[in-house]
């Protein structure tokens, strides 16, 4: 067997981020403490921007290749998703970097026990946990690889590379550290289980097909379909279906779909808010990319077997996310349930099983990602006031958001825009996305119209809790001095600004983006 050939150009985006991550480790080890923060931020920004340029270059080349011995497929959906992930990650890193470390989201020293004298000492010394940036970059490598992975093992490795740094990042909150650490542990435990399920599923599929390559699995499935009863090996269908089921568990966990959604609110709430924004946007994009590839490349032949199950998952995800969000009293938890509901909507598009379906999912992911990053960036700005008049932790309880429009009209207006986009009001990107997935699914008889009806019902329910926040901000009296709105730095303004432009732009003039998504919707077999 020959050594696999590598198309380094096609792999460049991942390699650039990976090299940046390695350099960041070196910076952490050798750069003097005072310079670390700046160097890390610059390194991360440059690395991500460089990778983004590489993706754009590749996209203009208009070629699709499988490389690294067929383990990685760089095709339309992969490039679209990699580009989306990189842009969103860049915005997320900017919001992270903008915060004054003293009042920022990250702990001074993660290893210090919460409430201990070590912690107090670290805070006094003005320490900053700059390891955040290499962790983000490593996670990003996994995210870029995940939707491009062309065999199950590569996909599993990507899954782990993207997940492990995230587990750590979740535990790094500066305030309410126990909650943050609990979130981290919970995410790690459940995430480890789901990875194990994924791996087990991959093993069973290997048993069925004799290969982990997605296209080989597809070939094995269609062989099985044409084989007569005499030649079919008894029990192999069992392997296939069990494998598909276990694989689905692992991936549905990552996208936060019912019934594997229970970690989402706890983790979103506990994690430092910029990390939550990064996670909510980028992880979802990457995980749906992998889900799409498996559904469309490896398993289209058995779709009659898995579609009913995913139908049910999508319907329940939309409904449960929307219904439970109604009773949330914390902004971050509410956005978490909203992200669950959105996972359901995206699954509707995925189920369509045609090019329109892929295009709608790609567009929805981009639209949702921009709004999400912007919304979480705004959450970081609303803070409690300390008795001395300083800036305390984030005020995420909804009661603290009352009357926000009076003290900060611009923030309230922007957040309202994002909420309306989440709710899918016309002229925002959310509506375009929902329309895309619904119209892709509706003509898929016999199940399509029913699922769209469920989706519409869920949207109606969801409107209610988004509106509730708007009511709080605009029509309630202010809570006085207990809450302050910090002045955002230039980087945060930029990130939120991009979110606003994308949210309105993809709502009012989405034609170009839709075209891009649709033209990117062909997977390499």
Can you tell me whether residue 394 is helix, strand or coil?
strand
Q: How far is residue 56's CA from residue 18's CA, in Å, rounded to a whole number?
A: 18
Residue numbers 435-474 binding another protein by CB under 8 A: 435-436, 438-439, 442-443, 449, 452-453, 456-457, 459-460, 463-464, 467-468, 471, 474
From residue 280, alpha-carbon distances to 358, 423, 497 in Å are 20, 17, 19
Q: How far is residue 252's CA from residue 246's CA, in Å, rounded to a whole number?
A: 10
**Per-residue mark of binding to another protein, 474-513 (x: CB under 8 A):** xxx--------------------------------xxx--
CB of 395 to another protein, least distance (A): 21
CB of 519 to another protein, least distance (A): 10
Element (H, E) at 322: helix 303-325
Element (H, E) at 357: helix 355-379
Contact segment (CB under 8 A) with another protein among 190-198, 287-295, 389-397, 420-428 equals: 420-428
CB of 192 to another protein, least distance (A): 40
Is the distance from CB of 292 to CB of 365 less than 8 angstroms? no
Of 181 and 432, which CB lies nearer to another protein in the complex structure? 432
CB of 59 to another protein, least distance (A): 18
DSSP 402-447: TTHHHH-HHHHHHHHHHHHHHHT-TTSHHHHHHHHHHHHHHTSTTT
Does position 40 interact with another protein (CB under 8 A)? The reply is: no
Does position 515 interact with another protein (CB under 8 A)? The reply is: yes
Residue numbers 330-369 binding another protein by CB under 8 A: 359
Q: How far is residue 444's CA from residue 40's CA, in Å, rounded to a whole number?
A: 49
From residue 301, alpha-carbon distances to 231, 296, 307, 332 in Å are 18, 9, 11, 40
CB of 198 to another protein, least distance (A): 34
Does position 58 interact with another protein (CB under 8 A)? The reply is: no
Contact segment (CB under 8 A) with another protein among 261-269, 324-332, 372-380, 424-432 equals: 424-432
Can you tell me whether residue 71 is helix, strand or coil?
coil
Of 426 and 525, which CB lies nearer to another protein in the complex structure? 426
Can you tell me whether residue 308 is helix, strand or coil?
helix
CB of 400 to another protein, least distance (A): 18
Binds another protein (CB under 8 A): choice among 427, 480, 482, 497: 427
Does position 113 interact with another protein (CB under 8 A)? The reply is: no
Size of site (CB under 8 A) for another protein:
34
Of 8 and 464, which CB lies nearer to another protein in the complex structure? 464
Is the distance from CB of 446 to CB of 435 less than 8 angstroms? no
Does position 80 interact with another protein (CB under 8 A)? The reply is: no
Of 256 and 349, which CB lies nearer to another protein in the complex structure? 349
User: Where does residue 305 rank: exposed (0-12), middle (13-18), buried (19+ CB within 10 A)?
Assistant: middle
Of 348 and 379, which CB lies nearer to another protein in the complex structure? 348
Is the distance from CB of 301 to CB of 223 less than 8 angstroms? no
Residue numbers 166-195 binding another protein by CB under 8 A: none
From residue 209, alpha-carbon distances to 28, 105, 112, 182, 310 in Å are 45, 47, 49, 40, 22
- Asked if residue 446 has a cis previous peptide bond (ω within 30° of 0), the answer is yes
Can you tell me whether residue 327 is helix, strand or coil?
coil
Of 283 and 444, which CB lies nearer to another protein in the complex structure? 444
Binds another protein (CB under 8 A): choice among 380, 429, 518, 521: 518
CB of 467 to another protein, least distance (A): 6
Site for another protein, rule CB under 8 A: 359, 420, 425-427, 431-432, 435-436, 438-439, 442-443, 449, 452-453, 456-457, 459-460, 463-464, 467-468, 471, 474-476, 509-511, 514-515, 518
């Amino acid at each position: 067997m020959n050594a696999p050939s590598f198309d380094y150009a096609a792999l460049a985006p991942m390699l650039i981020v990976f090299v940046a991550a390695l350099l960041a480790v070196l910076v952490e080890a050798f750069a003097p403490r005072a310079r670390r923060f700046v160097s890390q931020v610059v390194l991360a920004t440059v690395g991500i921007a460089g990778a983004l340029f590489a993706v754009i270059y590749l996209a203009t080349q208009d070629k699709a290749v499988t490389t690294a011995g067929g383990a990685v497929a760089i095709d339309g959906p992969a490039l679209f998703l990699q580009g989306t992930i990189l842009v969103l990650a860049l915005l997320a890193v900017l919001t992270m970097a903008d915060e004054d470390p003293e009042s920022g989201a990250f702990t001074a020293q993660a290893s210090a026990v919460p409430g201990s004298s070590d912690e107090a000492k670290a805070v006094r010394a003005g320490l900053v946990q700059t390891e955040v940036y290499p962790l983000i970059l490593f996670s990003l490598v996994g995210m870029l690889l995940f939707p491009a992975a062309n065999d199950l093992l590569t996909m599993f490795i990507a899954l782990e590379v993207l997940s492990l740094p995230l587990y750590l990042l979740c535990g790094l909150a500066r305030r309410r550290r126990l909650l943050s650490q609990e979130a981290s542990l919970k995410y790690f435990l459940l995430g480890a289980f789901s990875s194990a399920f994924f791996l087990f599923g991959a093993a069973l599929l290997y048993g069925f097909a004799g290969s982990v390559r997605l296209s080989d699995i597809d070939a094995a499935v269609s062989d099985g379909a044409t084989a007569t009863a005499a030649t079919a090996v008894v029990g192999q269908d069992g392997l296939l279906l069990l494998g598909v089921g276990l694989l689905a568990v692992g991936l549905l966990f990552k996208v936060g779909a019912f019934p594997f959604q229970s970690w989402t609110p706890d983790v979103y709430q506990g994690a430092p808010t910029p990390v939550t924004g990064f996670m909510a946007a980028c992880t979802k994009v990457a995980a749906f990319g992998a889900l799409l590839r498996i559904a469309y490349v490896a398993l289209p032949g058995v779709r009659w077997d898995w579609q009913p199950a995913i139908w049910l998952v999508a319907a329940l995800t939309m409904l449960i996310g929307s219904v439970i969000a109604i009773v949330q009293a914390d902004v971050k938890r509410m956005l978490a349930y909203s992200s669950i509901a959105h996972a359901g909507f995206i699954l509707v598009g995925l189920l369509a099983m045609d090019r329109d379906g892929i295009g709608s999912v790609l567009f929805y992911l981009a639209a949702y990602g921009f709004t999400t990053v912007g919304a979480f960036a705004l959450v970081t700005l609303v803070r409690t006031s300390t008795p001395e008049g300083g800036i305390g932790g984030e005020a995420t309880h909804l009661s603290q958001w009352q009357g926000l429009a009076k003290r900060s009209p611009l923030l309230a207006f922007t957040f309202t825009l994002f909420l309306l986009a989440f709710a899918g009001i016309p002229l925002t990107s959310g509506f375009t996305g929902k329309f895309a997935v619904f119209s892709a699914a509706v003509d898929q008889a016999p199940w399509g119209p029913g699922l769209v009806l469920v989706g519409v019902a869920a949207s109606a329910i969801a409107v209610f809790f988004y509106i509730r926040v708007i009511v709080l901000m605009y029509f309630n009296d202010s809570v006085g001095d207990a809450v302050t709105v910090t002045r955002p730095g230039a980087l945060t303004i930029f990130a939120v600004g991009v979110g606003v432009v994308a949210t309105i732009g993809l709502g009012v003039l989405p034609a170009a983006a839709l075209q891009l998504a649709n033209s990117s919707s062909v997977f390499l077999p």
